[in-house]
Amino acid sequence: MALITIDQEKCVKDGICAAECPGLIINFKNGTPEVVKGAEHFCINCGHCVAVCPTGALSHKNLSPEECMEIKREFLPNPEQMELFLRYRRSIRSYKKKQIPKELLEQVIAIASHAPSGHNRQPVQWHVIYEREEITKLCGHVIDWMKWMIKEKPEMAKPMELELVVTGYEAGNDILTRGTPHLILAHGNRNDFSSESAATIALTWLELALPSFGLGGCWCGYFNAAAMFWSPLQKALGLPKNHLSYGTMMVGYPKYQYHRIPPRNKPVITGL
Ligand SMILES: Cc1cc2nc3c(=O)[nH]c(=O)nc-3n(C[C@H](O)[C@H](O)[C@H](O)COP(=O)(O)O)c2cc1C
């Protein structure tokens, strides 16, 4: 099957598909879109050629215009709404003792999976620790890792305040996971150059998506540091071979609402 097919009745010969193709593999020199000979394997399956065609004339062998989600432009935020949307997000550290329905978690993760990735490799996979008891069990491994760090790598443990965290945790304060009902890990193959950045971006998108569903989250840095380095925790997590967790997010129903947006440092910008 050809990589792209053109419905000549719909094609208005505007060359937009060729201009937008990231791999420059669509040629428009003959006044109609054609794949450059031998360049098929440079296609990264991003779907841009299909998505950008104003008349829906182009189909990719893996994607037809009908399979693409419709864009309702009237739903897009204006600059004021966008500013509020981005600044409204807060790290949430108090959660209701209520589980999020599994379908809702799947829905939010599916949205976050539209985050960009290098070469459109989409290397991120997700691991949900759904049950609170399981999180508490795993936290035991995190504390073991911290104790090991305090003993063996004191120069690293000190700036991370690990002693304080361990003491607090053992006194009954869940500084690690704040009583979150669920944890979501974004992981990928450590041998894939794009895994780490893709996971960071995807988790950022997840956190941004949560408030619209009445949910909230917070990065779980200590937990993830242990997940990257402590083999007993890695064993307990059971991620696929060669996979590393590049970010962990607490997720739940926020117990409290924020009423104001705290300011942040003025951005340092050069060149303007
Ligand atoms: C990579 C990363 C790791 C973080 N780890 C933790 C954590 O382990 N525990 C925690 O309470 N907050 C954690 N945070 C949340 C930050 O403390 C928070 O983003 C910061 O204080 C700013 O607050 P805001 O997110 O509400 O703007 C982490 C944030 C990032 C980006």
The average confidence (pLDDT) of the chain is 97
Look at residue 136 and tell me whether its pLDDT is greater than 90.
yes
CA atoms within 13 A on the CB side of 261: 10
How sure is the predictor about 1, in pLDDT bands with cuts at 50, 70 and 90?
A: confident
Identify the residue whose C-alpha is closest to ligand 1 atom 29.
219
Regarding whether 126 and 11 lie in a shared domain, the answer is no
Residue 86 has pLDDT above 90, yes or no: yes
Ligand 1 nearest-atom number relative to CA 89: 26
Q: What is the CATH number of the domain that holds 22?
A: 3.30.70.20
Residue 48 lies in a domain: yes
Residues 108 and 200 in one domain: yes
How many domains is the chain partitioned into structurally? Answer: 2
Verify whether ligand 1 is closer than 6 Å to residue 173 (CB atom).
Answer: no
Contact 203, 219 (CB under 8 A): yes
Q: Do 175 and 147 share a domain, yes or no?
A: yes
Tell me the average pLDDT across 247-259.
98
Q: Which of 21, 37, 67 is the last residue of a domain?
A: 67
Give the domain extent around 36: 4-67
Decide: 91 in ligand 1 pocket, CB within 6 A: yes
* Burial class of residue 146 (count of CB atoms within 10 Å of its CB; 0-12, 13-18, 19+): buried
Give the residue among 65, 83, 92, 45 at the shortest CA–CA distance from 5. Answer: 65
Is pTM beyond 0.85 here? yes
Tens digits of residue pLDDT in 213-250: 999 999 999 999 999 999 999 999 999 999 999 999 99
Structural contact between residues 272 and 200, judged by C-beta atoms closer than 8 angstroms: no
- Asked if residue 29 belongs to a domain, the reply is yes
CATH of the domain at 214: 3.40.109.10
Question: Do 36 and 100 have their domain in common?
Answer: no
Average pLDDT over residues 162-168: 97
Residues 58 and 144 reside in one and the same domain: no
Q: Which atom of ligand 1 is nearest to the CA of 264?
A: 27
Atom of ligand 1 minimally distant from the CA of 224: 8
Residues 198 and 235 in one domain: yes
Task: Give a yes or no: residue 262 inside a domain.
Answer: no
Question: Are 18 and 55 in the same domain?
Answer: yes
Tell me: do 131 and 189 sit in the same domain.
yes
**Is residue 269 a part of any domain in this protein?**
no
Q: What percent of the chain has pLDDT over 90?
A: 99
Answer yes or no: do 88 and 115 share one domain: yes
Ligand 1 proximity of 222 Cβ (cutoff 6 Å): yes
pLDDT score of 138: 98
- Residues 40 and 164 reside in one and the same domain: no
Task: Evaluate: CB of 93 within 6 angstroms of ligand 1.
Answer: yes
Query: Does residue 159 sit in the same domain as residue 200?
Result: yes
Whether ligand 1 lies within 6 angstroms of the CB of 220 is answered as yes
Domain boundary among 17, 43, 67: 67
Distance 90 CA to ligand 1 centre (A): 9
Q: What Å distances lie between residue 272 and 96, 215, 265, 268, CA to CA?
A: 45, 37, 18, 11
Pocket lining: 221 vs ligand 1, CB cutoff 6 Å: yes
Q: Cα(224) to centroid of ligand 1, in Å? A: 12
270 within domain boundaries: no
Residues 245 and 219 in one domain: yes
Beta bridge partners of 243: 189
Residue nearest to atom 5 of ligand 1 (CA): 221
Which pLDDT score, from 0 to 100, does residue 176 have?
A: 97
Give the number of the atom of ligand 1 that is nearest the alpha carbon of residue 222: 8
